[in-house]
């Protein structure tokens, strides 16, 4: 009779098999590729079954601190043992479509963090000061790109933070855009 693996052993073996997650979704606003949550889970699904692990990503509410957050963890089907969790506080937003986009984004990144998946380090060099940040063009209300920004924000495919990675945005305009 073989010894039953702990959840940490199962997660270790799972991580060894995952490799690099393919980026198969396209973001038309930024003309870049990313892996969406469905592709990520699809790529993990067979391996989760192999190790009898279930992925849990509930939205939790902390009544004491009056905040909501996404919690991601794994649970072993054999022992009900839980892994450590990865959590991200949700912003207070009343627009359900924007909140849905944020939840999907946070689910993807808490899962990436929890499994230490290989992902592009968008700002590692910038954060370490090794490369000067490029000067970004100003976002002007009368420009053709402004209409694309409005569309992306309205559809929930971009956030103000995303826009600020591509454009210099005045605080006044950022406040106006955040109300969309």
Q: Is the CB of residue 116 less than 8 Å from the CB of residue 15? A: yes
Whether 107 and 164 share a structural domain: no
Identify whether residues 162 and 111 lie together within a single domain: no
Per-residue pLDDT of the chain (180 residues), as tens digits, is 457 889 999 999 988 888 666 566 666 665 666 667 787 888 888 899 999 999 999 999 999 999 999 999 999 999 999 999 999 999 999 999 999 999 998 998 899 888 887 654 444 443 444 544 557 888 888 788 888 888 888 888 888 888 888 888 887 787 788 777
**Is residue 112 located within the same domain as residue 144?**
no
38 falls within a domain: yes
pTM, full prediction? 0.60
Same domain, 71 and 158: no
The rounded distance, in Å, linking the Cα atoms of 149 and 125 is 26
Cβ atoms of 104 and 37 within 8 Å: the answer is: yes
Same domain assignment for residues 14 and 79: yes
Domain boundary among 71, 97, 121: 121
Same domain, 73 and 6: yes
Q: What are phi and psi of 160, to 5 degrees?
A: -60, -40
Backbone conformation region of residue 31, classed left if phi is above 0, alpha if psi is from -120 to 50, else beta: left
Q: Domain total for the chain? A: 2
3-state class (DSSP) for residue 3 = coil
Domain residue limits at 173: 134-180
Instruction: Report yes or no on 180 lying in a domain.
Output: yes
Residues 140 and 96 in one domain: no
Contact 35, 27 (CB under 8 A): no
Closest CA relative to residue 81, chosen from 168, 141, 9: 9
Asked, for residue 34, whether it belongs to a domain, the answer is yes
In a domain, 129, yes or no: no
- Tokens coding 114: 């929890």
């Amino acid at each position: 009779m073989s010894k039953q693996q702990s959840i940490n052993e199962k997660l270790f073996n799972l991580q060894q098999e995952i490799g690099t997650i393919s980026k198969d979704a396209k973001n038309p606003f930024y003309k870049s590729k990313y892996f969406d949550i469905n592709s990520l889970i699809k790529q993990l699904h067979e391996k989760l079954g192999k190790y009898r692990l279930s992925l849990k990503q509930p939205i939790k509410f902390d009544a004491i601190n009056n905040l909501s957050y996404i919690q991601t963890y794994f649970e072993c089907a054999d022992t009900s043992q839980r892994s450590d969790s990865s959590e991200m506080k949700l912003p207070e937003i009343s627009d359900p479509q924007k909140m849905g986009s944020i939840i999907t984004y946070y689910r993807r990144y808490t899962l990436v963090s929890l499994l230490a998946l290989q992902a592009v380090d968008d700002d590692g060099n910038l954060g370490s000061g090794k490369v000067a940040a490029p000067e970004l063009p100003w976002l002007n209300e009368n420009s053709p790109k402004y209409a694309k920004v409005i569309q992306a924000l309205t559809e929930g495919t971009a956030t103000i933070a995303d826009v600020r990675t591509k454009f210099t945005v005045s605080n006044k305009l950022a406040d106006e855009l955040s109300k969309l």
